[in-house]
Amino acid sequence: MHPLKRTPIKDLLHAKEFNIEVNVKGWVRTKRGNKSLAFINLNDGSIIHGIQVVAELANFDENIIKLITTGSCISVTGTLVQSQGQGQAVEIQAKNIEVYGTADAEVYPLQKKGHTLEFLREIAHLRPRTNTFGAVLRIRHAMSYAIHKYFNDNGFYNIHSPIITGSDAEGAGAMFRVTTLDAMNPPKTKEGGIDYAEDFFGKETNLTVSGQLEAELAALALTKVYTFGPTFRAENSNTARHLAEFWMIEPEVAFNDLNDNMDLAEDFLKYLINYALTHCMDDLEFLEKMYENELLSRLRFVVNENFERLHYTQAVEILKECGHPFEFPVDWGADLQSEHERYLVEKHFKRPVILTHYPKQIKAFYMKQSEDGKTVKAMDVLFPGIGEIIGGSQREEDHDKLLTRIREMGIHEKDVWWYLETRKYGTCPHAGFGLGFERLILFVTGMGNIRDVIPFPRTPKNAEF
Ligand code: ATP
Ligand code: MN
């Protein structure tokens, strides 16, 4: 007789057929019992719920039962039956149990429930085994899938932008250098600096901070494209919203203007949140119960309401007149702080806000200049509890205006000659934006810290796992 194939617990919990032989494999969450029975809650991560395994002690070697402790990994073969007990619809009456791996109850770090999220960050190698991280990781997967599905269904092509880049023109933050030079003894130029001509790529290279410039090159050929890749920023900001390594989704569309760009951003975000509400309900309900008691209503609200759209200048007026005691002053020309963004979203409009037409001096060189000569056609999407979730713009397609701006901002033309050439040959209006994937997951899961929505967070002084 060949061994039974494993069935995922998710399928067993939704079973329609009973009194059949099944096999499950997974990790023990709890074991309790009495003199004659052991009740084992087994979880395999296919779904947040575990399945109850009932073992009649008389049928098992006492030593096997002793090895089944919280955290151990076992394989169970038995009969799937409708449960007599409360709290679960089905259970397995075990006939045979094989122990794959024990977990010494004296030292297993997840022996008890109710660890703090801070403690779980210190055991990032084990935290996927908690209900919270199981839920977050399944939602993260669902969102990643939904992003590709949305774009594919809407005629976008996925472009793999490079991770190692020779340009540092984006100006989106400090970069991580990529080099094979000997750190102790690098080759020197005549002037005494490091000679990058000797480096692997023959020039200075870094990890990318954004795939946008490359996405633009592709959009001016394929019309609708997007990138979805890791980005790296050596910003030393220890906030609950910033990682040194995070994932970004950057659609770029030829012939779109700022309004089209806003429409796309709003439609895209609503689609993703709606996808989570349709496909991740078990996990969302768990997170709502554990962390944020208005999670589901907040998600539904965003799907159903229009985002407020207004100019930066109007937002500054609102913030100046509102009388709220902000830590940082508000002044036309200065970047808004997260407290300002959240005031607009959470207190004033009580809905997501898209701010546009920012002063050109606080935005990147590639943004399209407005007719007023002072602002650019930028847009930031601001979300409750998060602040900025998307940053984007219509791009400057006029070669001479772009070149003037590049010179004004002190960017080296030789670093962006290839970018400028797209404005020389067949240029056209186009627009795009960047969505921070982990900020989206923060919003959808209701988690409070960005370190808890990525499997292995990279932050200053932290790259252990
Ligand atoms: P912020 O002002 O919040 O630092 P930014 O303006 O520097 O963000 P952009 O360059 O516009 O960010 O990047 C696009 C999006 O990427 C942001 O809207 C945000 O969702 C996300 N993002 C930016 N920096 C980080 C980071 N360090 N960690 C996680 N997500 C980030
Ligand atoms: Mn931004």
C-alpha 248 – ligand 2 centre gap (Å) = 12
Q: Comparing C-alpha atoms, which of 156, 338, 176, 368 is closest to residue 250?
A: 156
Tokens of 203: 């020039």
In degrees and rounded to multiples of 5, residue 323 shows phi and psi of: 80, 5
Helices (H) and strands (E) in the chain, counts: 13, 16
- Give the right CATH number for 127-174+209-452 from 3.30.930.10, 3.40.50.720, 3.40.50.1970, 3.30.70.980: 3.30.930.10
Q: Among the bound ligands, name the one nearest to the CA of residue 440.
A: 1
Q: pTM score, two decimals?
A: 0.96
The chain-wide mean pLDDT, for the chain, equals 95
The architecture of the domain spanning 9-101 is Beta Barrel (2.40)
Measured distance CA(32)–CA(104) in Å, rounded: 16
Q: Among the bound ligands, name the one nearest to the CA of residue 249.
A: 1
User: In ligand 1, which atom is closest to the CA atom of 391?
Assistant: 11
For the chain, what's the residue count? Answer: 465
Q: Tell me the pLDDT tens digit for each residue of 140-166.
A: 999 999 999 999 999 999 999 999 998
Report the nearest-CA residue for atom 18 of ligand 1: 390
Q: Tell me the pLDDT tens digit for each residue of 396-450.
A: 999 999 999 999 999 989 889 999 999 999 999 999 999 999 999 999 999 999 9
Cβ-contact 70, 105 below 8 angstroms:
yes
Q: Is there an atom of ligand 1 within 6 Å of 388 CB? A: yes
Q: Is there an atom of ligand 1 within 6 Å of 269 CB? A: no
Task: Tell me the average pLDDT across 227-250.
Answer: 94
Report the nearest-CA residue for atom 2 of ligand 1: 388
Dihedral sign for Cα atoms in the order 106, 108, 114, 115 = positive
**With 0-12 CB in 10 A as exposed, 13-18 as middle and 19+ as buried, what is 115?**
middle
Task: Tell me the average pLDDT across 247-266.
Answer: 98
Where along the chain do its domains lie?
Answer: 9-101, 127-174+209-452
Q: Tell me the pLDDT tens digit for each residue of 208-231.
A: 999 999 999 999 999 999 999 999
Cβ-contact 430, 256 below 8 angstroms:
yes
C-alpha 169 – ligand 1 centre gap (Å) = 16
Question: Residues near 363 by Cβ (< 8 Å), separated by ≥ 6?
Answer: 376, 378, 393
Q: What is the DSSP string of 370-390?
A: PTTSSEEEEEEEEETTTEEEE
User: In ligand 1, which atom is closest to the CA atom of 364?
Assistant: 10
Pocket test for ligand 1, best of 242, 243, 362 (most atoms within 8 A of CB): 242
Measured distance CA(6)–CA(76) in Å, rounded: 9
